[in-house]
Structure 1
Amino acid sequence: MGQLLEKSYQINGIQQIGIGVKDVHKSWSWYRKAFSMDVPVFEDEATANLMTRYTNGKAESRHAVLAMNMQGGGGFEIWQFTSRTPGPSDFEVRPGDLGIYAAKIRVRNLSRAFEHLKGCGATILTQPSKAPNRTGNFFIKDPFDNVFQIVEDSNWFSENTSPTGGVLGVVIGVSDLEKSISLYQDILGFSVLHYKEKAVFEDLPGKGETFKRALLSMPCEGNPGAFGALLCPAQIELIEVQGRESRQIFKDRLWGDLGFIHCCLDVNGMRNLKKKAGEAGFPFTVDSEDSFDMGSASGHFGYLEDFDQTLIEFVETHRVPILQKWNLYLNLKNRDHKKNLPKFLVKLLALNRVKA
């Protein structure tokens, strides 16, 4: 019990999207108000010694908060350099540029979410419309220039308490759609193909442009892993622009600069995943090798790059605080990784909630 069979691994969902910001407290305050990302799993100030490959060979210090929305979905890792000033892109990022263009946010009621986000001061990029699979959605930009796609979804962890849920997925710009699908579908477990089309899409920002577009998701029968039920089944959408050259969103910038810095998947069987990915041509570029402290939480983490150098992070969680004020932690290393934690235990995380 508790150990995956040799040569096996499992993806439990999108744990979080990393967002590089100028001011962690200002950004988190807005994300609490707009997206109910109000339950911190950890808050930590440290030096990113293992990420020097992506920070010009220098270990930079940072302040990070991992915050969750307890209705269900992945969280935000809100990430601020404290040793340097984070740099923005020197061009306006457009759909199809290479990297994470947008984070998808799950909602029950599209109209309610639209009015709520307008009231929070979001910039509306598109009006509510239908994606190729007839799912309602619209795009916004936050006050910090990050793009979010707001998407109707039916997978939830808990009751309807706010207009939005957590992270449903990401929209990633790629240079070759067909080549890129294999990593996300065959290695990373986003095995369900909802559509793959080439068209001018009315629901995407960038009217009049043609894209190749594919939506992949995890199977919807329920996620494994300790926090799989909270994370809910996730999506990855890949888009390839036609008729113009796509640009690298993080070209000549550092991991941790402004924007979406990575998509993090919650996993079990990290070493087996590393082996499988390496054999498929996606070697880990960063590997903590063993348990690594992240403030009050700890886990084994690693990174790989997709075909266009978009960073995908993996975390195998070893310890997580449930009631921080009483120093109550869960040790996840020796439990059955296929099973979700009891719902009442996961809901205890909400006792750490920070008010908007």
Structure 2
Amino acid sequence: MKEIINGIQQIGIGVADAKEVFNWYRKYLGFDILVFQDEATAGLMTKYTNNTAYSRLAMLALNMVGGGGLEIWQYKDRIPEASKTPILLGDLGINVMKLRSNAIEETYKELKALQLSFLTELHTTEVGRSHFFFEDPWGNLVEVVADNYCFCSSKSASGGVLGVVVGVSDMDASIDFYKHLLGFDHVVYNKKGVFQDFCDLPSGKASFQRVLLKRSTTAVGGFGELFGPAEIELIQTEERKPDKIYKDRLWGDLGYIHLCFDVHGMQALREHAKSLNFPFTVDSADSFDMGAAAGHFSYVEDPDGTLIEFVETHKVPVLKKLGIYIDLKKRNPQKPLSKWLVKAMQVHRVRSDR
């Protein structure tokens, strides 16, 4: 069977205190479903951690409104490093995390009340949607975009991860990568110039080429309906040579470390990636075990080295204490899970600080 890419499962964020970051995103942005919290050694990632297997704490948090989750990742035996120079818009890698909101004015009001160090005004996107940018307390740029998709009603005005803004050095090569490997084949816009909504961002007054990609068809197998539609915005600065965001740093250091897609058919995906000259750089080969969750993961690099993770989930806990799990290996991969079953993950809701 051909590979199936169901949507963005999560974005990885390297942090110094995973519980502190989880509590903030839980409290203010609705990421209150803690799928797992696991401590282990990241033995398969040594290609990106200076050939050293470091111990880490990982927490996967979801927002039931719909969208990808947050994999909050913390070294346990090493102090994570920040970028040695300020990260400028258009630098190579994940610049911005996009979150969806079906009540954007309410989300904006709630975040403004927090008196964050950086918060733009509400702007209109190139396709007429309201949006704004802010910086979380750890310096990560976040964009909130008006989006009506809703998997499950929630007290949170904002939803899960809608996508990312990725800095690239060769727009045509990057479009080909995201189109042919990941299926983002619909170009919503492709524009050049100075953009008003970028102007308050670091180096945002420069001229950019800006391309928004979506998928013309969205797979809905397994958890696809929870993850919902996604978008990837590619930006290329036209006025300077961009730096690599993770130059001279390790995967897991502070910032956005990867973008992860939920997939089925890892073997077929491995062959597809190889045929496009983007072979897997990391491959768990059989199955990983994240305490209560299990599956198969791999990584590829986009043309600029930005890390893209694929996860084929085999088992997800519903009621761990009773030994009740969702076994995805024994079901039709092209059929979405029953909505009531996915909603049952709300038993993992965290209502107070960890």
Q: TM-score range by the shorter chain?
A: over 0.9
Question: Equivalent residues in 2 for 1:218-237 (5 A)?
Answer: 218-219=215-216, 222-237=218-233
Asked if the contact 2:223–2:337 (Cα under 8 Å) also holds between the matched residues in 1, the reply is yes
Residue among 127, 137, 152 paired with 1:158: 152
Asked if the contact 1:110–1:128 (Cα under 8 Å) also holds between the matched residues in 2, the reply is no
Give me the whole-angstrom Cα distance separating, in 2, the residues matched to 1:27 and 1:41.
15
CA RMSD, Structure 1 to Structure 2 (Å): 1.2
- What SS does the corresponding residue of 1:350 show, helix, strand or coil? helix
Is 1:292 aligned with 2:288? yes
Give me the whole-angstrom Cα distance separating, in 1, the residues matched to 2:41 and 2:280.
21
Name the structure 1 match of 2:208.
211
Name the structure 2 match of 1:354.
350
Question: Equivalent residues in 2 for 1:78-89 (5 A)?
Answer: 78-89=72-83
Q: Which deviations, in whole Å up to 9, do the C-alpha atoms of 1:211-263 show, x marking residues without a partner?
A: 0010111236x532210000001111100011112110000000000000000
Name the structure 1 match of 2:106.
112
Using the TM superposition, give the Cα deviation of residue 121 of structure 1 relative to its aligned residue in structure 2, in angstroms. 4.2
Is 1:309 aligned with 2:305? yes
Give me the whole-angstrom Cα distance separating, in 2, the residues matched to 1:197 and 1:99.
20
Give me the whole-angstrom Cα distance separating, in 1, the residues matched to 2:305 and 2:259.
12
Asked if the contact 1:191–1:219 (Cα under 8 Å) also holds between the matched residues in 2, the reply is yes
Between the aligned residues of both structures, percent identity stands at 49
- What SS does the corresponding residue of 2:151 show, helix, strand or coil? coil
Is 1:185 aligned with 2:179? yes
Using the TM superposition, give the Cα deviation of residue 160 of structure 1 relative to its aligned residue in structure 2, in angstroms. 4.6
- What SS does the corresponding residue of 2:210 show, helix, strand or coil? strand
Is 1:64 aligned with 2:48? no
- What SS does the corresponding residue of 2:159 show, helix, strand or coil? coil
- Residue type of the alignment partner of 2:331: R
Is 1:126 aligned with 2:123? no
Using the TM superposition, give the Cα deviation of residue 161 of structure 1 relative to its aligned residue in structure 2, in angstroms. 2.5
Is 1:256 aligned with 2:245? no
Using the TM superposition, give the Cα deviation of residue 92 of structure 1 relative to its aligned residue in structure 2, in angstroms. 1.3
Residue among 335, 340, 343 paired with 2:336: 340
Query: Structure 1 pair 125/178, CA: closer, same or farther in 2 (3 Å)?
Result: farther
- What SS does the corresponding residue of 2:196 show, helix, strand or coil? coil
- What SS does the corresponding residue of 2:60 show, helix, strand or coil? strand
Using the TM superposition, give the Cα deviation of residue 15 of structure 1 relative to its aligned residue in structure 2, in angstroms. 0.1
Give me the whole-angstrom Cα distance separating, in 2, the residues matched to 1:156 and 1:123.
29
Name the structure 1 match of 2:168.
174
Give me the whole-angstrom Cα distance separating, in 2, the residues matched to 1:320 and 1:160.
22
Name the structure 1 match of 2:326.
330
Q: Which deviations, in whole Å up to 9, do the C-alpha atoms of 1:127-163 show, x marking residues without a partner?
A: 1111211121111000001010110112221125211
- What SS does the corresponding residue of 2:31 show, helix, strand or coil? coil
Query: Structure 1 pair 105/34, CA: closer, same or farther in 2 (3 Å)?
Result: same
Asked if the contact 1:33–1:120 (Cα under 8 Å) also holds between the matched residues in 2, the reply is no
Asked if the contact 1:283–1:304 (Cα under 8 Å) also holds between the matched residues in 2, the reply is yes
Name the structure 1 match of 2:22.
28
Gaps of 5+ in 2: none
TM-score by length of 2: 0.96
